Structures are given as structure tokens and as C-alpha cells.
Amino acid sequence: MKTAQAMSVTETKQEIRALVSRYKKEGKSIGFVPTMGYLHEGHLALAKQARKENDIVIMSIFVNPLQFGPNEDFDRYPRDAEGDRHKAEAAGVDVLFIPSVKEMYPRALSVQMTVTKGTDVLCGRKRPGHFDGVATVLSKLFHLVQPDRAYFGLKDAQQVAVVENLVRDLDFPIDIVPCPIVREPDGLAKSSRNVYLSEAERKEAPEIYKSLQLANKAVEQGERNPEKVISLVKAHLSAHLSGKIDYVELYSYPDLEPVHAIHGRCILAVAVQFEKARLIDNIIFAE
């Protein structure tokens, strides 16, 4: 059991390296939860799982400019340093690493990372370069924190897939731990964007998860045709939602490649555009 102790907060690479080096010398395992802050229950669930499985839990909060496109909301990305600090500590985080952009990128990078697999599908299709920035900042954070395990939420399953491939292909000595989507009692995936739903939209929104469950049932009962499963989901969404279907796609996981038949691990992912909120959800078939 961990003895209660004040959370350390550090803004510098030098300090995080010194802490990590000490933990390593003490033979302690490190669980890592990389975030962009503005913490919600999804992040805290990752921290709690890391707390159970490691001696030390390190969380980073860094809004990474490299993964935002020129027309995206880097400058407007919500920040709440004080609130995050309390939430992280309450979730059992030992060390909170909050570097500045200058600390993480003190000069132009001499090496460019380009993710070539699993980016041109799902949400990544509209965010060219996004996962290049994710891969770069995670490589840096992994080197600074040297975790045994790193925790990612399956809400952004494409990110988990890209990270699993990155770690495998570059041989990072890290276990990537994908964590289940946290849901409201009625099944709606938790998201900070849910507050933008109108009352009527909020009532419909759980149908997204219901459509995924229908698909899951069909696959369990032997359906192997991706087109049929996708049609099933689209029909359910069209019948029950006022929002517009952005995509319903099915791929192998984590390779995110089209499949002719549902075998092995596959992901079925959905994005729906409501008036002010765009919601995403997914389910992974693991037969």
C-alpha cells in the first residue's frame, strides 16, 4: 500500500528526470498518464487504474502545440491548473509534470516523426499531422518519465492504436494499457462536450452506444460482414437521432485497415454531429 504523501508538482525536465531516476534506483514501477489537462472522470479513471498497478503514478499535463492544426483550437484549449492539481492528487497521482511549451520544445526539432499507418481514417482523416505531433510528444514524455506502463482511454481508440503501433515499431520498453470508455448510467460515453447537447439531443444520445451494442450482438451471433454491421448501425442512428452521422467505420485493430470479414480484433467507430456537439464512440470486437 502507498502511504499518503503530498503530490510533487514539477515544471522542468531536470526535476522529472531526477525523480524518475530516484524511483528507478529504488526499484519502483512507474505508471504514466499523459493528458492535456482540464481533467475529467475519463482521465481520473486512468489515474486510478495506474494507482492500482504501479508503485508510482506520474501524470503529465501538456497542451502540445505540435498536434494542433493551424485552424484548430490550441490557443482556446481549456485550462484549469488549480482544479487539475486537486483532482490529480485526489486520484492518487504522485507526481504532476506540467512543462511549458518552451521547456518541451526549446528549439526547432532536428527530427520529424510521421505516422504512416492508421491516420487517414476515422477522426484522423480531418486532422493531417495530428498524430505526428502525438507521436513526437509521447516519445519525448516516454523518455522523460520512463514508465513501465502508460494509460490511454479507449474513447480515442485511434490514438490508442497509433500509440500501440508506435511502441511496438520503435521497441519502447513500455506496456500500453488501453482503458475502457467511462459511461453515464444510460450508456452515453462521458465527454466534456456532452454539456453542449440540447435537452432533446441529450435524451437521444445514448442511442449511439445502443447502436454499438446492437452491432456487437450481431457479431456475437455470427455476422462477419462489415458492410452489414455498418448498415445496421447507420439504420439505428438515422432512426433515433436528430444529429447527422459523420462516419460509421469498421477496421482491424490496432492496424486500422479495412477488413473484408470480421475476424480477430476489429473496431467499430461512430461520430455524430449534433447542433453544437460532435460525439464519438466505439466498440472493439475481440473474438
Contacting residues toward its own copies, per CB under 8 A:
13, 17, 20, 24-25, 27, 107-118, 135-136, 139-140, 143-144, 146, 162, 165-166, 168-173
List the strands of the sheet with 8-10, edge to edge: 8-10, 95-97, 56-61, 30-35, 149-153, 175-179
67 is in an annotated binding site: yes
Q: Of 162 and 241, which CB lies nearer to its own copies in the complex structure?
A: 162
Minimal distance, residue 209 CB to its own copies, in Å = 29
Q: Of 80 and 169, which CB lies nearer to its own copies in the complex structure?
A: 169
122 is in an annotated binding site: no
d(CA 194, CA 212): 18
Based on the residue annotation, tell me whether 260 is a catalytic residue of this protein: no
C-alpha distances (whole Å) from 134 to each of 129, 173, 246 are: 9, 18, 23
42 is in an annotated binding site: yes
C-alpha cell at 89: 492528487
C-alpha distances (whole Å) from 70 to each of 38, 109, 206, 260 are: 22, 18, 33, 36
C-alpha cell at 234: 447507420
Q: Of 17 and 183, which CB lies nearer to its own copies in the complex structure?
A: 17
- 10 Å Cβ neighbour count for 187? 16
Minimal distance, residue 257 CB to its own copies, in Å = 11
Tell me if residue 14 falls in helix, strand or coil.
helix
Minimal distance, residue 19 CB to its own copies, in Å = 12
Q: Of 134 and 189, which CB lies nearer to its own copies in the complex structure?
A: 134
d(CA 244, CA 276): 12
117 is in an annotated binding site: no
CA 182: distance to chain centroid? 12
Minimal distance, residue 56 CB to its own copies, in Å = 15
| Bridge partner residues of 57 (DSSP) | 31
d(CA 249, CA 267): 8
256 is in an annotated binding site: no
Q: Is the dihedral of CA 50, 67, 85, 17 positive or negative?
A: positive
36 is in an annotated binding site: yes
59 is in an annotated binding site: no
Start-to-end Cα distance in the chain: 36
Q: Of 65 and 187, which CB lies nearer to its own copies in the complex structure?
A: 65
Minimal distance, residue 235 CB to its own copies, in Å = 34
Phi, psi of 281 (to 5 degrees): -160, 165
Q: Which residues are annotated binding-site positions for ATP? A: 36-43, 153-156, 182, 190-193
Task: Tell me the catalytic residues.
Answer: 43
